């Protein structure tokens, strides 16, 4: 069984939704990154998603774009991402997942990337610009134990969602809204209907919801339609706004508390 799925399963059994926090590797600086990641993990995140910076992140809104630009100015490379992954995975059993666009990965060499990621202790991989259509081309011949996590969106048909569930391992990443990553003030009735529809179609894997989530209330409202949530832009924005480690920790704790389902 997938390590990630098993990990989320255990949380769910203990009446908890999984909290995955996204951080752009090498942001805000190479020196501070590890400390921020450790703070996130010790303050209540269950899963850490490390973003590999890319010059042209098409699926990302302005906040993550900014962090990616800064990480690249800091000369963050895939080798650095593996170094962070190794350091962090040595001191936690919480799953670390890599999120990266296709081009830096093929430039590194796909097979070497999968092998080095696994050796560094990563458990999963998300590539937002490799959809179902390109899955076989991209992953054929890659013999990897990494969980390949595909995304569903509000425009995905029921048939596609089933296929995505079939091809994915660990969890399916359910994108809450059409659009790029960011912070949403509110979610519409259509969003909830879509989450309900998607959750009912995911059979093989766990399902995590991402994009737009920033508040404890969002998590509470989404909790009946998922096995966990992913928060990214909100955390990146707090770092851009100059939050110190303690303030970042408090923000994570607050989100983490909302993942506890006792009494709901």
Partner 1 sequence: MKNYTYPDQYGKFGIYGGKFVPETLIPALYELEEAYNNLKEDPSFIDEFNNLQKEYNGRPTPLTFASRLTEYYGKAKIYLKREDLCHTGAHKLNNAIGQISIAKKLGKERIIAETGAGQHGVATATVCAKFGLKCTIYMGEKDIERQKPNVFRMKLLGAEIIPVYSGSKTLKDATNEAIRDWVTNVKNTHYIIGSVVGPHPYPMLVRDFQSIIGKETKEQILLKEKKLPDYIVACVGGGSNAIGIFYPFINDREVKLIGVEAAGYGISTNKHCATLTLGAPGIFHGMLTYLLQDENGQVAEVHSISAGLDYPGVGPEHSFLKDINRVLYSSVTDEEALKAAYLLTKLEGILPALESAHAFAYLEKFIKETNSNEIIIVNLSGRGDKDLSTYMEKFKDKENELH
**x/- site string to partner 1, residues 179 to 218, per CB under 8 A?**
xx--------------------------------------
153 binds partner 1, rule: CB under 8 A: yes
Quote the least distance from Cβ 69 to partner 1, whole Å.
Answer: 8
Please spell the DSSP secondary structure of 12-62, one letter per residue.
Answer: HHTTB-EEEEEEETT-S-HHHHHHHHHHHHHTT-SEEEEEPP-S--TT--H
Please identify which of the residues 9, 46, 49, 185 carries the catalytic annotation. 49
Report the sign of the C-alpha dihedral through residues 32, 37, 43, 49, in that order.
positive
93 binds partner 1, rule: CB under 8 A: no
Quote the least distance from Cβ 121 to partner 1, whole Å.
Answer: 22
Among 99, 125, 149, 151, binds partner 1 (CB under 8 A): 151
Quote the least distance from Cβ 155 to partner 1, whole Å.
Answer: 5
Quote the least distance from Cβ 262 to partner 1, whole Å.
Answer: 34
Give, in order, the Cα–Cα distances in Å from 183 to each of 62, 87, 154, 159, 237: 10, 30, 17, 29, 9
Among 55, 158, 224, 264, binds partner 1 (CB under 8 A): 55
107 binds partner 1, rule: CB under 8 A: yes
Quote the least distance from Cβ 91 to partner 1, whole Å.
Answer: 27
The answer to whether 133 is a known catalytic residue is: no
Instruction: Compute the C-alpha angle 77/70/243, nearest 5°.
Output: 120
Nearer to partner 1, 77 or 238 (CB): 77
User: Contact region for partner 1 (CB under 8 A) — 87-95, 178-186, 197-205, 221-229?
Assistant: 178-186
The answer to whether 60 is a known catalytic residue is: yes
Contact positions with partner 1 (CB under 8 A) in 226-245: none
Please identify which of the residues 35, 56, 60, 136 carries the catalytic annotation. 60
User: Contact region for partner 1 (CB under 8 A) — 4-12, 131-139, 238-246, 252-260?
Assistant: 131-139
Nearer to partner 1, 6 or 178 (CB): 178
Beta carbons within 10 angstroms of residue 221's beta carbon: 17
Quote the least distance from Cβ 241 to partner 1, whole Å.
Answer: 20
Q: State the residue for tokens 């766990």.
A: 206
Residues with a catalytic annotation lie at 49, 60
Q: Which residues lie near partner 1 (CB under 8 A)? A: 54-56, 58-59, 61, 65, 69, 72, 77-78, 101-108, 128-134, 137, 150-157, 160, 164, 175, 178-180
């Amino acid at each position: 069984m997938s390590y990630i799925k098993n990990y989320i399963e255990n949380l769910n059994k203990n009446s908890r939704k999984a909290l995955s926090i996204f951080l752009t590797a090498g942001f805000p600086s190479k020196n501070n990154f590890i400390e921020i990641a450790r703070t996130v993990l010790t303050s209540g995140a269950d899963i850490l998603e490390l973003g590999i910076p890319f010059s042209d992140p098409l699926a990302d809104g302005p906040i993550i774009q900014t962090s990616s630009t800064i990480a690249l100015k800091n000369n963050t490379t895939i080798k650095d991402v593996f170094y962070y992954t190794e350091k962090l995975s040595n001191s936690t059993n919480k799953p670390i997942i890599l999120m990266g666009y296709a081009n830096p990965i093929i430039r590194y060499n796909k097979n070497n990337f999968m092998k080095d990621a696994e050796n560094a202790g990563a458990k999963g991989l998300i590539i937002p610009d490799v959809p179902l259509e390109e899955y076989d081309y991209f992953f054929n011949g890659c013999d990897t134990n990494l969980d390949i996590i595909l995304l569903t969106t509000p425009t995905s048909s029921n048939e596609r969602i089933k296929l995505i569930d079939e091809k994915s391992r660990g969890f399916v990443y359910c994108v809450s809204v059409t659009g790029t990553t960011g912070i949403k003030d509110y979610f519409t009735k259509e969003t909830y209907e879509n989450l309900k529809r998607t959750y009912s179609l995911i059979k093989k894997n766990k399902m995590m919801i991402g994009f737009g989530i920033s508040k404890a209330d969002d998590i509470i409202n989404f909790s009946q339609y998922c096995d966990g949530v992913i928060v990214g832009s909100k955390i990146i924005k707090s770092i851009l706004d100059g939050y110190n480690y303690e303030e970042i920790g408090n923000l994570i704790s607050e989100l983490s508390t909302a993942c506890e389902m006792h009494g709901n």
